[in-house]
A = this chain, B = another copy of it.
Amino acid sequence: MKDDQLAAREPVATSEKVLERIGHSILSGEFEPGERLTETDLAQRFGVSRSPLREALLRLEERQLIERVPFSGMRVVSLDDRTVDELYEIRGALEGLACRRAAAVITPEQIAELRGVLAQRSRALKSTRGDARQQPTIQDFHILIARISGNRELERMLAGDIWHYMRAQYRRWARARERMDLGHAEHLRIVDALEARDGELAEILMRRHIVASRQELVDAKARAEARGAA
């Protein structure tokens, strides 16, 4: 069962199904960033009419996964370095807030749950030899903190597609696993701070963690470009 909560009913309408499919195609990299899309092609490709397809595309546009220009065409969003920087900065502020609030209300059971997620992720990391594409619990840790904070709007915001998309572009370059181990240590320290009910510290640690993640992305991209063409 996937719907963790809040009655996420299975999609019955065609538009919902095609929305999930296209969204997944973008997030998984099946559609390249910047790739041009046409309604007719997509409709044929997915075997649906243009009407439900359009609905899906409009939603994706509102979620900033595709860009459209009237009467002209549409394309998959390509996040440039500046935008990724900006998004990471926003994410740091939001997750910092989540940590601060979570520290005030967290229960022992929830602490155990957080540690469980980290342990599961650590195991999965070893078994798959660091293949980042098969980590189902990476962002679960962050989302879980947001949920513990009790701020549903914050949780909803941090669960948005744009963040997944941002991370997806990261996976393209990051084959190295050093960062993963470092990240794991940082995660543990965040949980420690939450357990100590030190909201201020937890917020600072989370902000640093996100800054470090962003820095690793920059470095990984630089290395990749140095290998590729320079």
Contacts and interface: CB of A to CB of B under 8 A. Distances in A.
A157 B96 CA distance: 17
Interface string A86-114: 11011001101100010000000000000
A154 interface: yes
Interface residues of A, number: 27
Specify how many copies of this chain sit in the oligomer: 2
A90 B58 contact: no
Q: Which of A12, A16, A87, A89 has the most CB of B within 10 A?
A: A89
A151 B58 contact: no
A52 to B, nearest CB: 11
Contacts of A140: none
A64 B186 CA distance: 34
A83 B153 contact: yes
A97 B87 CA distance: 12
B151 A90 contact: yes
A152 interface: yes
Contact of A86 (B13, B55, B93, B152): B152
A118 to B, nearest CB: 25
Nearest to A70: B13
A86 B158 CA distance: 13
Nearest to A59: B62
A59 B71 CA distance: 18
Contacts of A82: 152
Contact of A153 (B13, B70, B90, B153): B90
Interface in A138-193: 151-154, 157
A154 B89 contact: yes
12 contacts: A13-B70, A13-B71, A54-B55, A59-B62, A62-B63, A83-B152, A86-B153, A90-B94, A90-B97, A90-B151, A90-B153, A90-B154
Given A86-B153, A89-B101, A93-B93, 17 more contacts: A13-B70, A13-B71, A54-B55, A55-B58, A58-B58, A58-B62, A82-B152, A83-B152, A86-B151, A86-B154, A89-B97, A90-B151, A90-B154, A90-B157, A93-B94, A93-B96, A93-B97
